[in-house]
Structure formats: C-alpha cells, structure tokens
Amino acid sequence: MSTAERTQLYSLLETKLALVSELNEVSEDEDSLYHSEQPYANYRRDGITALIITIVFGLLFTGLQLFEYQTAPFTIADGIYGSTFFVTTGFHGLHVMVGTLFLFVCLLRHIFYHFLREQHFGLEAAI
C-alpha cells in the first residue's frame, strides 16, 4: 500500500471514528438524561435497561478510543499536535472509563434495590 493510499485510508477511518464517537457521546447523554428521570417515575426495569445501554456505550467508546490510539499515524512525541491529541483524548477517555465504572456500580445497586424513590443521590451523582 502506498503512502498516499495509507493517508487516504487513515483520513477515511478518522472521519468514520469521529462520527461514531460523536453519535456515541450524544446517545450517552440522552441515555443519562432519560435515566435520571427514572427513579422519580418509578420505572425500575426501564432504569436498569437505560443503565445497561449507557454502560455498553461507554465500553464501546473506550474500545474505539483504544483502536484509534493503536492505528493513529502519529505519536505523542510528534510535536504539539500529537501531544495535544493524546493528552486531551486521554483525559476524556479516563473520564468516560471512570463514569462507566460509576454507572456499573449504580447498576448493581439498582438491581439490588439500594435506591429508593426519595433516596438515590449516588445515582444522581453518577449521572
């Protein structure tokens, strides 16, 4: 594969990954907003389903970011672009991983009836 073809492939892949990541982010936000209303409405099954979907999206995002890191045609040592890219996306990835872990703990607590209609601050804080 020539350098021009490889560059074109990376550009296409980068565009598709950016689109999928953005759609993932939007759907995570929507799921979180949807789920934040669930304790008040007392829809336990819907709340558990929404949490599972949000956790899956968080894992999907983390996997896509790992793939993007492995296939990136530059490194953190390639000047200001490489270092800025990896630092900013790295902090965002860490944010998503910690949030996914928090939501997983909330899912377990929700499954085991640890949240009440009037008492669910842990869930609100995780969202």
Domain that holds residue 37: 3-126
Residue 44 has which token pair? 């336990």
Instruction: Provide the CATH number for the domain around residue 62.
Output: 1.20.120.80
Average pLDDT over residues 73-83: 90
21-27 CB contacts, 8 Å cutoff, 24+ apart: 21/61, 21/64, 21/65, 24/57, 24/60, 24/61, 24/64, 25/61, 27/57
State yes or no: pLDDT of 37 exceeds 70: no
State yes or no: pLDDT of 108 exceeds 60: yes
Q: What is the pTM of this model?
A: 0.69
Q: What is the pLDDT of residues 50-70, one digit of tens each?
A: 999 999 999 999 999 999 899
The whole-angstrom separation of Cα 106 and Cα 100 is: 10
SS (HEC) of 1-12: CCHHHHHHHHHH
Say how many domains are in the chain: 1
